[in-house]
Amino acid sequence: MRMTILVDADACPAVRVIEETAAELGAEVVLFCDEHHELNAGRCSVQRVASGPDAVDLALINRCRRGDLVITQDYGVAALALGKGAMALHPSGKQYTDENISGLLMDRHLAGKARRSGKRHLKGPAKRTDEDDRRFRESLERMIRASSGNREEGRVR
């Protein structure tokens, strides 16, 4: 059984890097997006779902299995993936783990609470750089290789 990389692709800045890296290492990739997004993915399959609150997230998590790799910026999706025995990676290259996900979810909760109280939203993320892509590629390669080694030995995280 081969690892499947499931990508929350609606706003993922690293789809090209994922596609290239997965092709080099022989991993299957499924990009999830809503019906209003158009993805041109030559080597990946694309799963389009009806638009609606959390529709893409739910479709991805329903497809997710133990040993898969989920790539998402959404901490909630990452938490659900970890709960199913999958691995999860942020497009920055930071791996979500059982040790860090609770703190990330708490930070998200507190930021939402601050926004609802009328506090100004801070500036968004900086423009993605080649260095960001390099860091992400290294993390992705490491996780694919680790998964392949674990599967060959009959162990999956």
On whether residue 157 sits in a domain, the answer given is: no
Q: What are phi and psi of 148, to 5 degrees?
A: -60, -45
The domain that contains 35 carries what CATH number?
3.40.50
Q: How many domains does the chain have?
A: 1
Q: 156 falls in which pLDDT band (50, 70, 90)?
A: very low
Distance of alpha carbon 68 from alpha carbon 38, whole angstroms: 24
153: exposed, middle or buried (Cβ count in 10 Å: 0-12, 13-18, 19+): exposed
Task: Give me the count of residues in the chain.
Answer: 157
On whether residue 36 sits in a domain, the answer given is: yes
On whether residue 79 sits in a domain, the answer given is: yes
Task: Tell me the per-residue pLDDT of 63-119, one tens digit each, with 9 for 90 and over.
Answer: 999 999 999 999 999 999 999 999 999 999 999 999 988 878 888 777 777 777 876
Distance of alpha carbon 82 from alpha carbon 12, whole angstroms: 19
> What burial letters (b/e) apply to 85-121, b meaning 16+ CB within 10 Å?
ebbbbbbebeebeeeebeebeeeeeeeeeeeeeeeee
On whether residue 140 sits in a domain, the answer given is: yes
Q: What is the mean pLDDT of the chain?
A: 86
Task: Tell me the per-residue pLDDT of 17-34, one tens digit each, with 9 for 90 and over.
Answer: 999 999 999 899 999 999
Contact by Cβ (8 Å): 70, 81: yes
Structural domain including 142 reads 4-152
Distance of alpha carbon 45 from alpha carbon 40, whole angstroms: 10
Closest by CA position to 16, among listed 133, 114, 121: 133
